[in-house]
């Protein structure tokens, strides 16, 4: 046998021994941008957007009619004013191509008009199954029912359209941050696929059993579950601390030539509320997204 | 003559001697909120919104196709993507009642759909002629041609829809701030109507003459022009200083347990650009609105 043929055969055999996981890894590494550091930087930057958006919503009081389905009726429309504003603004942005970016997730994906702009080549980073993970219904629920009443003043100034526009802004930045969990999961998976692969396979069973039977099965599976793998208590504590600090810094009253502590403690949005909301909802929902994504990572 | 009749006659005579200006003043004082302090507080708060919106726009690079009319074509639409997004989002917000509030001014007022929500009783504060003062065309021009190239990075990441949404946000907060000049003018007029009234009457003439003939007439009128009355160099200097400080504080990278100066000088939007834009455009355009409003204040 010719030496070159032997080399080719060895190469072929070596190549075939690369696991499917590694092949996917190589294939989707079209973008060098995806590192744990770049993902973390983006999450940190998104905290600023979330804090800004809450401060801007807090410019208006609660403005309850915005959320009251009986407040107005429009031909061909039902629901509250905020639903109308979110749905119709999403439609405008969909035509302009917003949801072509896999990092963006609409709150009303049904009947969304198609993009009218030339397609853009976003880096292919995620498993195609990512498209089915959308927790916006839950985000909508916790934003309006858990968060909003805690950080806006009671009252009514009539600016319901502007209020709804501000709510949309909050929803969009929260949605973007929480669904960024897909990229977090992808980068963690790539870095530690040897740990994740068995956990995914085991957890898929436990996940199905959880819904089919009861908690008992879950408890019996390997403790190294996906959720354990995805949880870093020290990082989460730091995030909560940082968002509180951002709420203090961005929500203070800035005065020229006055750096005294006179206004200390007066913030446009309570830093403790932001921190608690991150701990109770933003971080857990992000991890939900990570788990949901990883369960399909080997599809 | 009965004593009570005499008293009534005296009262009638006294009432009739109140100038037209004072009557308007009493009539429109429906809201106690309008004081120089409340107007200033609002302008200061709006600075935060402006700085936030610029920082949020700077998340994206220039994304030139957003502004290129040849980038896409949509049935029934012409112009650039940003025009489409602004026009159609304004239409959604108009239906939700945004432009019923006299503090809000659309960029595309033609063909705007009517509000579909029950009317809200906003305090009647301004002279009805205020509705004709709209400098949004100029704001559009300076935002896109003077400001934008100075604070966004070059480049293209394909997020044109999100970019346009961020531009809309910047435009709306700038427009709100600049048109707040109407309220600034109204409160200054109320506080010092004795100075403003003759200036308005004289300036109306000079204003007409300015367009009909040349500068010569203008120079001949009383030096105490409206623009002089409206200009407070010390206040303007403080505003410019404060917005730069806000750009530094809101645009810094916040870290937990690290208040070192390591990141000093690294801001998401250059504070000097914000300050200069305020001095060169925001303040002068606000004063333009003030003058335009005052010229109709006695209509």
B264 in Cβ contact with B155 (< 8 Å): no
CB contact under 8 A, B249 and A252: yes
Q: Is residue A125 part of a domain?
A: yes
Give B-chain residues touching A169 at CB under 8 angstroms: 169
Does the distance separating the beta carbons of A256 and B71 come in below 8 Å?
A: no
What the block records as the tokens of A9 is 């055969």
Nearest to A92 among B85, B160, B238 (CB): B85
Dihedral of CA A11/A16/A17/A19: which sign? Answer: positive
Contact B51/A at CB under 8 A? no
Q: Is A67 on the interface with B (CB under 8 A)?
A: no
For residue B264, what are its two tokens? 């000093």
- Note the pLDDT tens digit of each residue in A144-196: 999 999 999 999 999 999 999 999 999 999 999 999 999 999 999 999 989 88
CB contacts of A98 in chain B (<8 Å) are 159, 161-162, 165
| DSSP helix/strand/coil, B115 | coil
B71–A contact, CB cutoff 8 A: yes
pLDDT, one tens digit for every residue, chain B (299 residues) = 444 444 443 433 333 333 333 333 333 344 556 898 999 999 999 999 999 999 999 999 999 999 999 998 777 677 999 999 999 999 999 999 999 999 999 999 998 999 999 999 998 899 999 999 999 999 999 999 999 999 999 999 999 999 999 999 999 999 999 999 999 999 999 999 998 898 888 766 444 444 434 444 444 444 457 888 888 899 999 999 999 999 999 999 999 886 666 667 789 999 999 999 999 999 999 999 999 999 999 98
DSSP B27: H
How is residue B219 written in tokens?
A: 């120079």
Mutate to test the interface with A, among B92, B104, B116, B122 (most CBs of A within 10 A): B92
What span, in angstroms and rounded, lies between the C-alpha atoms of B204 and B201? 5
Sign, CA dihedral A290-A293-A295-A297, equals negative
Instruction: Write down the ipTM of this complex.
Output: 0.85
**CA–CA–CA angle A31, B67, B240 (5° rounding):** 95
Is A2 within the bounds of a domain?
no
Of the candidates B109, B106, B83, B93, which has an alpha carbon nearest to the alpha carbon of residue B164? B83
Instruction: Decide if A15 is inside a domain.
Output: no
CATH of the domain at B108: 1.10.590.10
Distance CA B70, CA B133 (A): 32
Identify all chain B residues contacting A46, using CB atoms and an 8 Å cutoff: none
Is residue B20 assigned to a domain?
A: no
Q: Is residue B67 part of a domain?
A: yes
Distance CA B198, CA B148 (A): 40
* Helices (H) then strands (E): counts for chain A: 14, 0
Determine, yes or no, domain membership for A282.
yes
Judge whether B195 lies within some domain.
yes
Domain count, chain B: 1
Looking up tokens 């002629």 gives: B129
Burial class of A55 by CB neighbour count within 10 A (0 to 12, 13 to 18, 19+): buried
**Residues spanned by the domain of A178:** 22-295
Interface of A with B in 182-211 (CB under 8 A): none
For residue B38, being part of any structural domain is answered with no
DSSP code of residue B251: T
CA B226 to chain CA centroid, nearest Å: 18
């Amino acid at each position: 046998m010719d030496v070159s043929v032997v080399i080719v055969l060895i190469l072929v055999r070596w190549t075939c021994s690369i696991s499917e996981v590694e092949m996917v890894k190589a294939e989707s590494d079209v973008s060098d941008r995806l590192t744990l550091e770049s993902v973390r930087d983006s999450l940190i930057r998104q905290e600023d957007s979330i804090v800004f958006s809450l401060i801007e919503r807090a410019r208006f009081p609660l403005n309850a009619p915005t959320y009251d389905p009986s407040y107005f009726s429009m031909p061909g429309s039902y629901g509250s004013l905020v639903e109308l504003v979110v749905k119709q603004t999403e439609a405008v942005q969909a035509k302009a191509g917003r949801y072509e970016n896999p990092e963006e997730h609409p709150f009303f994906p049904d009947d969304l008009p198609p993009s009218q702009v030339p397609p853009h080549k976003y880096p292919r980073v995620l498993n195609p199954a990512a498209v089915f993970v959308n927790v916006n219904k839950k985000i909508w629920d916790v934003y309006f029912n858990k968060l909003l009443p805690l950080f806006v003043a009671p009252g009514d100034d009539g600016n319901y359209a502007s209020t709804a526009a501000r709510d949309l802004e909050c929803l969009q930045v929260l949605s973007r941050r929480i669904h960024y969990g897909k990229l977090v999961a992808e980068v963690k998976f790539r870095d530690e696929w040897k740990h994740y692969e068995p956990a995914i396979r085991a957890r898929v069973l436990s996940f199905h059993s959880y819904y089919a039977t009861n908690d008992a099965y879950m408890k019996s599976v390997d403790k190294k579950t996906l959720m354990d793998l995805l949880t870093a208590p020290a990082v989460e504590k730091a995030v909560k601390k940082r968002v509180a600090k951002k709420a203090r810094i961005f929500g203070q009253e800035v005065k020229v030539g006055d750096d005294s502590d006179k206004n200390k403690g007066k913030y446009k949005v309570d830093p403790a509320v932001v921190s608690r909301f991150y701990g109770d909802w933003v971080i857990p929902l992000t991890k939900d997204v990570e788990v949901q994504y990883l369960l399909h990572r080997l599809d």
